[in-house]
């Protein structure tokens, strides 16, 4: 590494190269140990032969991948994951868009407070917020109690232990991310543009469809991507809200890793999740470029 | 004309209010239910009492997990800020070959799902016996917190006018003195913000922790998760409220101290 | 020369990867107590020289001598320089007094002495009572004063100022210009300042070093630079003027295209090509024809500038620029025929020493 420093003349190149190495070393070691090595090792482990709770070294086998690719169960899991991710992304974006638009345009002096309120849920562990939805959707929870009190239903409507509960909870849990992504993507939006369009004779609907929507599209796309990738890799919420009856990639990875202890299989599923994840991000970059042209 | 725009405004404001209600519903409901004391989950609460809070404080498992989470979060905060400060310094102040690679390595963890990282870290630390240990969980958290601290500190470091440092040099401060008396005080808000973000991520993190810890080094979120697998009684609501208040407390304190918004 | 306080010898700075040196064999020197202006357009290398003297940049070659000792290998923080930065670069997290005290602390000066010297420095720059203020509570001019105090309190070998007035508005600039000159004179510190503003350089400095493209063009007193520019660059960069290309027709007479012969003062071999310049304020309205160096033409353009009137007069193929004082009786109008004259000693022969 060749080093050039802005400051001291006293620092001869050799000395500053040493300093640079000292600066880089701790952080790089930490990142290699906690990020790079795990990813490489994950890839290697996905080709190991399975043995409970250990990895047999040495040989390379595609056993785990064969299991995943030829078992219809995992095809269903993959499909469930995509459906969950898609539903959560669509609804989270639809529900977040008005809030983001409101926050981006409001002149209210409570704007700061309202923004903080919209993203405050991020300061709460997803376990805690999932618990909140268990309280709302539970058999004796808020919704069922209310419906019964109003005599609208006799029995219990099952809202948990299925994918509906998991979907709704994930939508709410991931909305702050969508709002943040949209807010930073709405930078180009400004009230003067809308005023200019209105003065040129556009009514409110036309102003929205011709000005606001096109300008906010990149932010919307970013939000959708972010929510989608977070949803397909989630497992705490699907697991707790699904009560073990919702099977997505996240829950299966957790199951293989910590319950059945089939580590090569857990690794193979993770690699597949990572591949899915990366291809979505590549697609998103394509889409974003297409939007900008 | 006047009427329709009035109506539109009312409809719009109602929509926003409803969406906010949806967004905050679980937290509000948890808050309400935390004052119930029944052994099972039911709504609405029958009574108003602090019974569930008392139970939380009597629950040895929760209390010890709380102190562990606090310790782990503090260590993660300090380590990731120290490593982040050094990395930021090298990235902002030096030109070197391989800088793009270092930058990529710092940004890449943002692009990898936590669950994938969790499996990887688990597989790496299992053979060396670090599963369910303090070093294991701290390492696991560092992978996701360092990118945040580097970003926060880099931004505040870039805001430091290098001519101010030059002025100190010219007027007699050695490079080490410049760092200690000028650079460090000027990036302090960024350091504090980075430490707080790292602490909060570690303190609230459940996904990775669930793969790494089980009994000895269990954190509060993993304890809550395992508790919820069997029971959903109001004790968890009380505990949740306490956790939320701690998070808010930390953020407000930091905002008062250094102005978090300025730093982030 | 050899006993001068500051001597710069063949200073060169070539940045890595650059085709041409940013500073190309520059040499000059200052006696103790002198104020020198490094003047030139942006990118001419003047700031690089200042930063090399300060120690912030390592020279590629050459020497920087203080009292005969080469300091170019002494690290910046041990050179004992005072520097006023363009945007002042005051420490934003310290009070005014802490800013000024910083250099003394670094020199391990005792607390009592420190306080005393800070107080004196504040008095010197007329900031008494402002010590406890935060930097952000000062106006631009006050920040400038604080920066000067910070650099003088350490009793530096040399005071360096980088574009000291460029961040101030016009009125404050005139005030600070006198102020800096006054402080420098009172403390007797040797000072070098960098500027791209010729008025600033002419009015503040004892001597000017004019630079272009990394090279030193000319060094001299303001009068020498203004009235006897030695290069085309100096002549055109400092002040306005009309240039004439010609050939020496006889002793002190040059034949110039499209104009009557131009008389000048100075040594030039008969038959050699010369370049001559006349400053606009040296051209005067003449009553009649026939004086030496008189040109008759038609006023093409007039710009009124308060105290002076700038005329553009068409004489044959040439356009002459003349500044007339506005109190000089009847002023010409656009389209009027006028005759302008210039004394031979006011015709500058570029590239030669004055006779």
Tell me what percent of the residues of chain A surpass a pLDDT of 90.
23
Residue B47 binned pLDDT confidence (cut-offs 50, 70, 90): confident
B152's CB contacts (< 8 A; 6+ apart) are B84, B190, B193, B194, B197, B263, B264
CB-based burial of residue C187 (10 Å sphere; 0-12 exposed, 13-18 middle, 19+ buried)?
Answer: middle
CB-based burial of residue B4 (10 Å sphere; 0-12 exposed, 13-18 middle, 19+ buried)?
Answer: exposed
The CATH H-level (homologous superfamily) assignment of domain C240-349 is Nucleic acid-binding proteins (2.40.50.140)
Q: Give the model confidence (pLDDT) of B147-180 as tens digits.
A: 989 988 998 899 898 999 999 999 999 999 999 9
Helix (H) or strand (E) holding A110: none
Angstrom distance (rounded) from CA B150 to CA B137: 20
CB contact under 8 A, B228 and A127: yes
Q: Give the model confidence (pLDDT) of A70-82 as tens digits.
A: 899 999 998 999 9
Mean pLDDT check: name the lowest of A44-53, A274-283, B223-232.
Answer: A44-53
CB contact under 8 A, B204 and A267: no
Name the minimum distance, in Å, from the CA of C9 to any CA of chain B.
22
Using CB atoms, list chains with 3+ pairs below 8 Å to chain B: A, C
Q: Which two tokens stand for residue B228?
A: 């919820």
Q: Give the model confidence (pLDDT) of B69-79 as tens digits.
A: 999 999 999 99
Specify the residue for token string 């040499």.
C27
Tell me what percent of the residues of chain C surpass a pLDDT of 70.
97
Asked whether residue A199 carries a pLDDT value surpassing 80, the answer given is no
- Across the range C153-169, mean pLDDT stands at 89
Angstrom distance (rounded) from CA C255 to CA C235: 20
Residue A160 located in a structural domain? yes
B 173-212 residues inside an 8 A Cβ radius of C? 173-175, 177, 181-182, 185-186
Note whether C89 contacts A: Cβ–Cβ < 8 A: no
pLDDT top residue among A95 and A114 = A95
User: Are C216 and C23 in contact, with CB atoms under 8 Å apart?
Assistant: no
- The whole-chain average pLDDT of chain A stands at 82
Instruction: Say yes or no: A17 and A95 in one domain.
Output: no
Residue A7 binned pLDDT confidence (cut-offs 50, 70, 90): very low
Using CB atoms, list chains with 3+ pairs below 8 Å to chain A: B, C
Angstrom distance (rounded) from CA B215 to CA C219: 81
Instruction: Say yes or no: A154 and A111 in one domain.
Output: yes
Instruction: Say yes or no: A75 and A155 in one domain.
Output: yes
Q: What backbone torsions phi and psi does residue B65 show, to the nearest 5 degrees?
A: -65, -35
User: Are A61 and A47 in contact, with CB atoms under 8 Å apart?
Assistant: yes
- Across the range B210-214, mean pLDDT stands at 90
Residue C174 confidence (pLDDT) = 85
State the CB neighbour count (10 A cutoff) for residue C208: 26
Instruction: Say yes or no: A41 and A80 in one domain.
Output: no
Alpha helices in A35-162 (DSSP H): 37-45, 63-70, 72-105, 111-119, 126-137, 142-149
List Cβ<8 Å contacts ≥24 apart for A283-287: A284/A221, A284/A222, A284/A225, A287/A221
ipTM value > 0.85: no
Q: Give the model confidence (pLDDT) of C223-277 as tens digits.
A: 989 888 888 889 888 888 888 888 888 888 888 877 888 888 877 788 888 888 8
Residue C342 binned pLDDT confidence (cut-offs 50, 70, 90): confident
- Across the range A44-61, mean pLDDT stands at 73
Instruction: Say yes or no: A36 and A140 in one domain.
Output: no
pLDDT top residue among A147 and C234 = C234
Burial track B106-134 (b if 16+ CB lie within 10 A, e otherwise): beebeebbbbbbbbbbbbbbbeeebbbbe
Write out the residue range of the structural domain in which residue A149 sits: 65-292
Instruction: Say yes or no: A40 and A124 in one domain.
Output: no
Hey, where are the domains in chain C? 6-230, 240-349
Using CB atoms, list chains with 3+ pairs below 8 Å to chain C: A, B
Angstrom distance (rounded) from CA C1 to CA A54: 83
Residue A103 located in a structural domain? yes
Q: Which runs of E-coded beta strand occur in C290-329?
A: 294-305, 308-315, 318-325
A131's CB contacts (< 8 A; 6+ apart) are A240, B26, B30, B224, B228, B232, B236, B237, B240
Residue B127 confidence (pLDDT) = 85
First-to-last CA distance in chain C?
A: 23
Asked whether residue B263 carries a pLDDT value surpassing 70, the answer given is no
Residue A218 confidence (pLDDT) = 82
CATH code, domain with A190: 1.10.3720.10
Residue A12 confidence (pLDDT) = 40
- Across the range C291-300, mean pLDDT stands at 83
- Tell me which chain A residues have a C-beta less than 8 angstroms from the C-beta of C58: 9
CB contact under 8 A, A9 and C16: no
Nearest by Cα to B137 from B85, B71, B228, B81 = B71
Fold classification of C6-230 (topology level): Rossmann fold (3.40.50)
- Across the range C275-288, mean pLDDT stands at 81
Instruction: Say yes or no: A23 and A149 in one domain.
Output: no
Residue C355 binned pLDDT confidence (cut-offs 50, 70, 90): very low
- Tell me which chain B residues have a C-beta less than 8 angstroms from the C-beta of C56: 166, 169-170
- Tell me which chain B residues have a C-beta less than 8 angstroms from the C-beta of A138: 41, 232
Pairing of strands C190-195, C158-162: parallel
Q: Give the model confidence (pLDDT) of C186-195 as tens digits.
A: 999 999 999 9
- Across the range A190-206, mean pLDDT stands at 75
Nearest by Cα to A140 from C151, B235, B51, B234 = B234
Angstrom distance (rounded) from CA A78 to CA A250: 10
Instruction: Say yes or no: A4 and A91 in one domain.
Output: no
Q: Which two tokens stand for residue A97?
A: 């868009």
User: Are A264 and A55 in contact, with CB atoms under 8 Å apart?
Assistant: yes
Residue C238 confidence (pLDDT) = 86
- The CA-based angle B196-B197-B201, given to 5 degrees, is 115
Residue B258 confidence (pLDDT) = 64
Instruction: Say yes or no: A202 and A114 in one domain.
Output: yes
Q: What backbone torsions phi and psi does residue C306 show, to the nearest 5 degrees?
A: 80, -95
Residue A178 confidence (pLDDT) = 92
Name the minimum distance, in Å, from the CA of C25 to any CA of chain A.
20
Nearest by Cα to A231 from A209, A246, A214 = A246
- Tell me which chain B residues have a C-beta less than 8 angstroms from the C-beta of A95: 19, 22
Q: Name the domain count of chain A.
A: 2
Residue B259 confidence (pLDDT) = 57
Q: How far is CA B9 from CA A197, B4, B5, B20, in A?
A: 20, 9, 6, 17
Q: Give the model confidence (pLDDT) of B103-139 as tens digits.
A: 888 888 877 888 999 999 999 988 888 888 999 999 9
| Helix (H/G/I), strand (E/B), else coil: C305 | strand
Q: Which two tokens stand for residue A194?
A: 């809308």
Instruction: Say yes or no: A256 and A288 in one domain.
Output: yes
Nearest chain A residue (CA) to C53: A9
> What is the tally of helices (H) and strands (E) in chain C?
8, 20
Angstrom distance (rounded) from CA C52 to CA A208: 58
Residue A3 confidence (pLDDT) = 39
C 52-81 residues inside an 8 A Cβ radius of A? 55-58, 75-77
Q: Give the model confidence (pLDDT) of C53-112 as tens digits.
A: 999 999 999 999 999 899 988 999 999 999 999 889 999 989 999 999 999 999 999 999
Instruction: Mutate one of B119, B205, B246 to test the A interface: name it (highest A CB count within 10 A).
Output: B119
Say which DSSP state B7 is in. H
Residue A251 binned pLDDT confidence (cut-offs 50, 70, 90): very high
User: Are C56 and C37 in contact, with CB atoms under 8 Å apart?
Assistant: no
Residue C48 confidence (pLDDT) = 94
Of A25, A45, A121, the CB nearest to B27: A121
The shares of helix, strand and coil residues in chain A, as percent rounded to the nearest 5, are 75, 0, 25
Residue A188 confidence (pLDDT) = 64
Residue C99 confidence (pLDDT) = 94
- Tell me which chain B residues have a C-beta less than 8 angstroms from the C-beta of C107: 172
- Name all domains of chain B by residue range, CATH numbers in brackets: 55-263 (1.10.3720.10)
Of B23, B96, B236, the CB nearest to A175: B23
Taking CB atoms and an 8 Å cut-off, how many pairs form between chains A and B? Answer: 269
Residue A147 binned pLDDT confidence (cut-offs 50, 70, 90): confident
- The whole-chain average pLDDT of chain C stands at 88
Instruction: Say yes or no: A114 and A166 in one domain.
Output: yes
User: Are C265 and C244 in contact, with CB atoms under 8 Å apart?
Assistant: no
Residue B262 confidence (pLDDT) = 47
- Across the range A93-102, mean pLDDT stands at 93
Pairing of strands C253-256, C294-305: unpaired
CB contact under 8 A, B171 and C90: no
A 9-48 residues inside an 8 A Cβ radius of B? 10-11, 16, 20, 22-28, 30-39, 41-42, 45
Residue A118 located in a structural domain? yes
CB contact under 8 A, C75 and A10: yes
| Helix (H/G/I), strand (E/B), else coil: A200 | coil
Asked whether residue A164 carries a pLDDT value surpassing 60, the answer given is yes
How many residues are there in chain B?
264
Name the minimum distance, in Å, from the CA of A15 to any CA of chain C.
14
């Amino acid at each position: 590494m060749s080093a050039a420093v802005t400051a001291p003349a006293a620092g001869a190149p050799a000395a500053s190269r040493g300093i640079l190495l000292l600066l880089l070393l701790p952080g790089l070691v930490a990142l290699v140990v906690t990020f790079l090595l795990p990813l490489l090792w994950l890839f290697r482990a996905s080709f190991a032969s399975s043995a409970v709770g250990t990895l047999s070294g040495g040989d390379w086998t595609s056993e785990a991948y064969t299991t995943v690719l030829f078992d219809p169960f995992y095809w269903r899991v993959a499909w469930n994951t995509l459906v969950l991710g898609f539903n959560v992304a669509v609804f989270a974006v639809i529900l977040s868009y008005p809030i983001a638009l409101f926050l981006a345009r409001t002149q209210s002096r409570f704007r700061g407070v309202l923004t903080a309120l919209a993203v405050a849920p991020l300061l709460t562990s997803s376990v805690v917020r999932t618990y909140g939805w268990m309280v709302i959707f539970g058999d004796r929870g808020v919704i069922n109690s209310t419906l019964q009190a109003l005599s609208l239903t006799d029995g219990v409507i099952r809202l948990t232990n299925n994918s509906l509960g998991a979907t709704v909870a994930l939508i709410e849990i991931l909305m702050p991310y969508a709002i943040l992504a949209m807010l930073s993507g709405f930078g180009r939006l400004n009230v003067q543009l809308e005023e200019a369009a209105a003065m040129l004779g556009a009514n409110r609907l036309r102003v929205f469809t011709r000005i606001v929507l096109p300008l906010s599209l990149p932010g919307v796309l970013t939000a959708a991507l972010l929510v989608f990738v977070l949803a397909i890799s989630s497992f705490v919420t699907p697991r707790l809200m699904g009560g073990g009856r919702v099977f997505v990639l996240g829950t299966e990875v957790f199951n293989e890793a910590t319950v059945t202890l089939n580590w090569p299989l857990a690794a193979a599923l993770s690699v597949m999740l990572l591949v899915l994840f990366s291809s979505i991000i590549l697609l998103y970059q394509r889409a974003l470029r297409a939007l900008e042209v | 004309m006047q009427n329709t725009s009035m109506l539109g405004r009312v409809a719009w404001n109602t929509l926003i209010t409803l969406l906010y209600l949806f967004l905050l519903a679980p937290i509000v409901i948890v808050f309400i239910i935390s004052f119930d004391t029944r052994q099972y989950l039911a709504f609405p609460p029958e009574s108003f009492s602090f019974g569930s809070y008392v139970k939380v404080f009597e629950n040895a498992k929760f209390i010890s997990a709380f102190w562990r989470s606090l310790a782990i979060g503090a260590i993660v905060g300090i380590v990731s800020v120290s490593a982040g400060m050094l990395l930021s310094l090298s990235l902002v102040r030096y030109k070197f070959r391989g800088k793009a690679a270092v930058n990529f390595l710092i940004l890449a963890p943002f692009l990898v799902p936590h669950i994938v990282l969790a499996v990887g870290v688990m597989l790496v630390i299992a053979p060396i016996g670090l599963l369910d240990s303090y070093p294991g969980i701290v390492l696991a958290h560092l992978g996701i917190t360092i990118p945040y601290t580097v970003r926060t500190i880099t931004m505040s470091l870039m805001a430091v006018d290098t001519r101010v440092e030059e002025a100190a040099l010219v007027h007699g401060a050695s490079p080490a003195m410049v760092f200690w008396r000028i650079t460090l005080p000027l990036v302090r808000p960024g350091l504090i913000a980075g430490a707080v973000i790292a602490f909060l991520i570690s303190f609230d993190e459940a996904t990775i922790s669930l793969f790494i810890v089980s009994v000895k080094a269990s954190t509060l979120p993993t304890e809550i998760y395992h508790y919820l697998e069997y029971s959903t009684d109001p004790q968890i609501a009380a505990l949740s409220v306490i956790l939320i208040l701690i998070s808010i407390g930390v953020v407000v304190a930091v905002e008062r101290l250094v102005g978090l918004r300025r730093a982030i | 020369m050899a006993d001068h306080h500051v001597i710069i010898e063949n200073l060169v700075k070539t940045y890595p990867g650059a085709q041409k040196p940013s500073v190309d064999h520059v040499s000059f020197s200052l006696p103790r107590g002198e104020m020198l202006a490094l003047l030139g357009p942006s990118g001419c290398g003047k700031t690089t020289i200042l930063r090399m003297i300060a120690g912030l940049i390592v020279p590629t070659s050459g020497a920087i001598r203080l009292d005969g000792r080469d300091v170019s290998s002494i690290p910046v923080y041990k050179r004992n320089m005072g520097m006023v930065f363009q945007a002042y670069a005051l420490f934003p997290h310290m009070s005014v007094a802490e800013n000024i005290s910083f250099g003394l602390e670094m020199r391990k000066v005792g607390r009592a002495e420190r306080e005393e010297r800070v107080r004196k420095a504040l008095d010197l720059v007329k900031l008494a009572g402002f010590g406890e203020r935060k930097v952000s509570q000062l106006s631009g001019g006050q920040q400038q004063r604080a920066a000067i105090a910070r650099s003088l309190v350490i009793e530096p070998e040399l005071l360096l100022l980088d574009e000291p007035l460029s961040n101030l508005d016009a009125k404050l600039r005139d005030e600070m210009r006198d102020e800096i000159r006054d402080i420098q004179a009172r403390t007797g510190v040797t000072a070098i300042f960098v500027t791209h503003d010729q008025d600033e350089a002419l009015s503040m400095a004892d001597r000017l070093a004019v630079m272009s493209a990394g090279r030193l063009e000319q060094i001299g007193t303001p009068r020498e630079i203004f009235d006897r520019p030695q290069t085309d660059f100096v002549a055109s960069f400092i002040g306005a003027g009309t240039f004439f290309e010609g050939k020496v027709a006889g002793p002190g007479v040059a034949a110039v295209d499209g104009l009557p012969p131009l008389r000048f003062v100075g040594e030039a071999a008969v038959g050699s090509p010369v370049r001559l310049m006349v400053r606009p304020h040296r051209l005067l309205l003449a009553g009649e024809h026939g004086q030496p160096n008189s040109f008759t033409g038609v006023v093409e353009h007039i710009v009124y500038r308060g105290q002076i009137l700038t005329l553009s007069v068409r004489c044959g193929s040439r356009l002459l620029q003349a500044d007339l004082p506005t109190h000089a009786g009847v002023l010409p109008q656009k389209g009027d025929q006028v005759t302008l004259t210039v004394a031979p000693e006011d015709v500058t022969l570029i590239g030669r020493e004055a006779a």
